[in-house]
Structure 1
Amino acid sequence: MKFLLTSGGINNKSIQDALVGMLGKSIADSNALCIPTAMYGHPWVGPGVKAWEFISGKEENPMVNLGWKSIGVLELTALPSISEDRWVPLVLETDVLLVAGGDALYLCHWMRQSGLADLLPSLQAVYVGMSAGSMVLAPNIGGFFVGWTPPSGGDEALGLVDFAIFPHLDHEMLPHNTMASAESWAAGMQVPGYAIDDQTAIKVIDGAAEVVSEGHWKLFGPSL
């Protein structure tokens, strides 16, 4: 699977061009599924109006409102209660998964519970993450970002990429997301870590990571 891991969505032309290149066709010719699940686990974004804004494409971060050929909703918390033949074919046929931010460990839990985590490595779709939707693919997220506590405890995530992500670097509404905080976070990680702002994304194809940025970012730890 191809991953486009963003901090704040498809916020500039460089990131959008990377997405189109990964799709191999235009956004207008591509079918998408949006996954709002992470939002419900975070007290700032869900449930309620923020989840509706993401699904409806009314939010400020460009994801759902890019002009897709079609857009659907895949709610992970519902999937364990329905047959796989109701949703797996839908995922297999889609061109892109748009995964909202929120709480990364809550998202990780429901990706595993739903069965989507097992399906991801074999998908042909492009996975586009935003914030927690990107962080969840790392081996772990770091104590700095632990909010919702999974039944097993800890900060382990899916491990589908071999680095971690510190999103929203120097964001005006997140005064604790400074470079100094990112350095402290990275010092406690066992894998390389990218600190990225909302104008930056990491493109991963066949395990190879490439930074796409019109903003600022820093890689901590050994070179990938």
Structure 2
Amino acid sequence: MKLLLTSAGVQNPSIEAALVDLLGKPIADSTALCIPTAQYGHPDIGPGPGAWRFISGNSPLRMTSLGWKSVGVLELTALPSIDKDRWVAAVQETDALLVSGGDTLYLAYWMRQSGLADLLPSLNDTVWVGLSAGSMVMAPSIGDEFIQWRPPTGGDEALGLVDFAIFPHLDDTSSENTMADAVKWAAHLPVPGYAVDDQTAIRVVDGAVDVVSEGTWRLFS
């Protein structure tokens, strides 16, 4: 799987160009499934208007509004109750998975419960486009600072499909994610960590990592 891990979606031409490069064709010729699940677990978002804005493209965090050939919805909490034949093929055939922000550990839990986490390693040509929690979920752990919902097993473990953690929304005026906060966060991580602002994304292909940015970022190694 190819990863484009953003803080706030496709916010500038550099990130959009990286997405097109990963897709290997124009966005207008590509299909996508959007995953809103992470929003439900976050105490400040939950179900309702936030999920609708993400799915419908009525959000400044550009994901579903990029001009895709088609966009569908993949709701992870529903998948355990239906046969895999009804959704696995749709995931295998889509070009991109657009994954909302929200609560990272809630998203990780439902990725495992639904079976999507087990399917990901086989999706060699699919592009995972993460937004905030949708990016952080790929890390081995997220740090105590970002825990709001805890899985039954406790802890801050995410999926571990990359070997670094992500601190999103760096110096966003609407958040408390300052560089000083990032320094404290990184000091307790068992892995390297990237602090990224909303104009930055991390691209991962075959284990190779590079940063695509028109803004500010820092690697804590």
TM tier, shorter chain?
over 0.9
CA distance in 2, matches of 1:122, 1:11: 29
Deviation at 1:46, TM superposition (A): 1.9
Amino acid at match of 1:137: M
Q: CA deviation at 1:43?
A: 1.7
What is the number of residues matched between the two proteins?
Answer: 220
CA distance in 2, matches of 1:29, 1:88: 21
Pairs within 5 Å for 1:184-195? 184-195=184-195
Which is further off, 42-51 or 26-35?
A: 42-51
- In the TM superposition, what whole-angstrom CA distance separates every residue of 1:81-126 from its partner, at most 9, and x where no partner exists? 0000000000000000000000000000000000000111110210
TM-score, normalisation: structure 1 = 0.98
Contact 2:77 2:110 in 1 (8 A): yes
Runs of 4 or more above 2 Å deviation? none
Unaligned runs of 5+ in 2: none
2 CA distance for matches of 1:26 and 1:179? Answer: 35
Distance 1:44 1:131 in 2: 14
Residue identity (%): 70
Q: Tell me, which stretches of 5 or more residues in structure 1 are unaligned?
A: none
2:140 is matched with 139
Residue in 2 aligned with 1:58? 58
Deviations 1:49-79 (A, max 9, x none): 0100000000111000000000000000000
Counterparts of 2:137 and 2:121 in 1: how far apart (Å)?
Answer: 14
Deviation digits for residues 131-162 of structure 1 (CA, Å, limit 9, x no counterpart): 00000000000000000011000000000000
| 118-127 or 67-76, which deviates more | 118-127
CA RMSD of aligned residues (A): 0.5
Q: 2:143 and 2:50 mapped to 1: Cα distance?
A: 25
- Tell me the distance in 1 between the aligned counterparts of 2:178 and 2:54: 26
Matches of 1:142 and 1:207, distance apart in 2:
22
